[in-house]
Amino acid sequence: MKPDVFDIVIIGAGAAGLSAAKILSTAGRSICICEARDRIGGRIHTLKGGEFSGPVEAGAEFIHGDLPLTKALMKQAKVSYYAGKGQTWTVEKNELARGDLFDDNWDILLTKLRQLEHDITIGEFLKTFFNEPKYQSLVEGVTRFVQGYDAADVNKASALALREEWANENIQGYRPIGGYSLLVEHLWSEVNHLHGVLKLSTVINKIVWRNNYVEMYSDRNEKITARKVLVTVPVSVLKSGAIKFDPPLAQHQEALQQLEVGGVIKFLVEFKGPIWERRGPSKFNRMPALNFLFSDAFIPTWWSQRPAEIPLLTGWLAGPVVQNLPQDDNVLLSQAISSLAYVFGCETAALEKEIRAAKVFNWYVDPYAQGAYAYKTLATSTAVRVLTRPLDNTIYFAGEALYDGPEMGTVEAALASGNKAAEEIIREGFF
């Protein structure tokens, strides 16, 4: 039976919220998850059974390296994974070539980074140590990489955090077979089995609280009560003031302003066949075994699903640039087609004839994400410490941005942060 007052309400059914829900309901606590969207998963969003011919990822896609919580969850969910394989291609100044765009001076950059004793932004680091004209292409390459891969602003991103990331990172990446959503579906099935309650399409916009008692109000004026609340909504949503706290959380609001989240627009373009593999005369540049493609096109990065057979190219535009773009998906889509026509060296009309399905996912304008994932600045660690300190044993926060370590901004970070908050709630007990 549904209790009048839940032990814990969890706001957000992403990886952090669902992983916490599993731990808390396993510990015998009554829980209710309130989720704004009409689906679970948040920034994990596998599209299945629509216009695309197989499962495709609108959000998280890769497992970057040997990540313990993600791998353990995959094992429990009986989901296996495959490694992306194939050839990297580049198109720069209309020239098609094999290989990536990394500069020969990359090793010098890593050596200088290793010698850095105090944190500065990566932008300042480049200005201090690589200001000479001979490093111009290195500086451009690093800037492109920080903006593209970390979705970060070079003038804010921490050089020491990037050093740690670049030392640990397995950029190649693995993908869960059948899609990332299988992992969150597994977590929810376990919570459901333990009688957890899930309220979809429930946007929480107000939290009234006192010690060990919380009232949550939704946009439909529904009131949900609990003894504690775990807030796992993205930090950009919290920063925007979309959820009002009464009494307000002044120190937390201040700390939130120190966190930075990058924007990403993902383009999914499925072709009638892999035009990049065509032999013999073809209108399109041939890129056999295409895995990643880096270019100087407006949408610079594309990748295939190789070795999976679906003829899909995923385009990626990230970092500060996405903040000033038109919000109309059709305009963005035509920019994607122009970028693809450039890298394939063909007319857009010829390319359009080959497309079976295409969709844009602009996470920067998504109201329940307001960005893609967090990156570390010089102020992040202090802010995360403030935000992860429970308030009066009553209000707790979790989510990918509130994990302070090398995996920040990933599904692994979200799972770790959700688990940590759940364990803390259990440890502090209910009075």
Ligand X SMILES: Cc1cc2nc3c(=O)[nH]c(=O)nc-3n(C[C@H](O)[C@H](O)[C@H](O)COP(=O)(O)OP(=O)(O)OC[C@H]3O[C@@H](n4cnc5c(N)ncnc54)[C@H](O)[C@@H]3O)c2cc1C
> Residue 414, interface with ligand X (CB under 6 A)?
yes
Of residues 171 and 350, the one with the C-beta less far from ligand X: 171
Q: Which is nearer to ligand X, 44 or 79 (CB)?
A: 44
Least distance (Å) between residue 196 CB and ligand X:
15
b/e burial code for range 338-356 (CB count within 10 A of at least 16 → b): ebbbbbbebeeeebeebbe
User: Of 11-19, 88-96, 139-147, 155-163, which part binds ligand X (CB under 6 A)?
Assistant: 11-19
* Complex with ligand X: residue 62 or 302, whichever CB lies closer: 62
Q: Note whether 44 binds ligand X by CB under 6 A.
A: yes
Counting every residue written for the chain, the total comes to: 431
Interface with ligand X (CB under 6 A), residue total 41
Residue 363 is a binding residue for ligand X (CB under 6 A): yes
Q: Which amino acid is at 299?
A: I
Q: Does 42 bind ligand X (CB under 6 A)?
A: yes
Which residue in the set 88, 181, 410, 419 belongs to the binding site for ligand X (CB under 6 A)? 410
Report which of 417, 382, 414, 136 is spatially closest to residue 254, judged by C-alpha positions.
382
Asked if 416 touches ligand X (CB under 6 A), the answer is no
In the list 24, 32, 36, 91, the residue contacting ligand X (rule: CB under 6 A) is: 36
| Selected binder of ligand X within 46, 232, 258, 295 (CB under 6 A) | 232
Q: What is the CA radius of gyration of the chain?
A: 22
CA–CA separation, 287 and 88 (whole Å): 9
Identify which range of 21-29, 272-280, 366-374, 383-391 contacts ligand X by CB under 6 A. 366-374
Written as six digits, the tokens of 359 are 């969709």
Nearest CA to 166 among 138, 144, 142?
A: 142
DSSP annotation of 266 reads E
Q: Does the footprint of ligand X cover residue 47 (CB under 6 A)?
A: no
Beta-ladder partners of 245: 207
Q: Indicate the pairing of strand 5-11 with strand 223-231.
A: parallel
CB of 286 to ligand X, least distance (A): 28
Largest CA distance in the chain: 75
User: Does residue 17 belong to the site contacting ligand X (CB under 6 A)?
Assistant: yes
- Judged by CB under 6 A, does residue 372 bind ligand X? yes
Considering the complex, what minimum distance in angstroms separates the CB of residue 367 from ligand X? 8
CA atoms of 1 and 65, how far apart (whole Å)? 42
C-beta closer to ligand X: residue 37 or 376: 37
Binding of residue 230 to ligand X (CB under 6 A): no
Other C-beta atoms lying within 10 Å of the C-beta of residue 154: 24
- Both tokens of 407, joined, read 């995996």
Structure-derived torsion over alpha carbons of residues 341, 304, 55, 82, reported in degrees to the nearest 10 = 180
Those residues with Cβ within 8 angstroms of residue 239's Cβ, 6 or more apart along the chain or in another chain:
256, 257, 259, 370
Shortest distance in whole angstroms from residue 225 CB to ligand X: 16
By CB under 6 A, is residue 376 in contact with ligand X? no
Phi, psi of 413 (to 5 degrees): -65, -40
Least CB distance from residue 117 to ligand X, whole Å?
A: 30
**Residues of the shown chain interacting with ligand X in the complex, contacts defined by CB under 6 A:** 11-17, 34-37, 42-44, 59-62, 203-204, 232-234, 237, 242-243, 264, 266, 363, 368-369, 372-373, 399-400, 409-414
